[in-house]
Amino acid sequence: MARDPILHRIRTALGRSAEQPASDPPPVRLRIPTVPMEARIASMITRIEALAGKAAETADPCGVLAEMLEGKTAVASNAPCLAEWGITSLPGIRSGITDREELRALCATADVGITAADYALADTGSLVMISSPQEARLISLLPPAHIALVPRDRILTGLDELLTVLPDPARVTSSMVLITGPSRTADIEQILVRGVHGPGQIIVWIV
């Protein structure tokens, strides 16, 4: 069989014998750069816009969303901060849904899904969405447009800092999703199409 000669060559290259146990893995190396918050925010906005998303800061999330959502239907997650900011009380927004089938039906017909983001990564413009009873995945994935609100103090430098803050995500959630720009795919002819596997439009408000 080809398996044994292949494994033999690998062991020889590593300087190991067949009976020798594997050595302990090297320690994890996480490097967290020192980046001022204003620089993180600027990087976050730049990266999102480079991916055809939209991002901006606001001190009045309720006001900007009221203007954006005029004439549209929206479903919002049960994140406490959305209620604190008054967003779930805006006209045309449904929230507080706990029944899975009802939520699925609403997300399939709503123009916009509104969520909070647990964290954001400044170096890639990624949103970190931790699934929970307050943040259902459907809201950020099924409607054609996704509006995410993230507190400015939740903007991390990058993945290394996220893994420092949340070293074992599986202990706190069944699903942690990193969203980097609108959904996009390309066929064999490299024709880019947005919105095939998720929202074709992403708007991020940094609060």
Query: Into which CATH architecture does domain 31-183+193-206 fall?
Result: 3-Layer(aba) Sandwich (3.40)
Tokens at 152, concatenated:
């400015």
The tokens 């190396």 sit on which residue? 29
Range with lowest mean pLDDT among 62-76, 170-184, 192-206 = 192-206
CA 181-114-128 angle, 5° bins: 45
Radius of gyration for the chain, computed over Cα atoms and rounded to the nearest angstrom: 21
Q: What is the pLDDT of residue 132?
A: 84
pTM above 0.75, yes or no: yes
Q: What does the longest C-alpha to C-alpha distance in the chain come to?
A: 70
3-state SS, residue 127: strand
pLDDT higher than threshold 60 for residue 195: no
Q: pLDDT of 77-88, one tens digit each? A: 999 999 999 999
Relative to beta strand 119-121, strand 184-186 is: unpaired
Q: What share of the chain is helix, strand, coil (3-state, %, to 5)?
A: 35, 20, 45
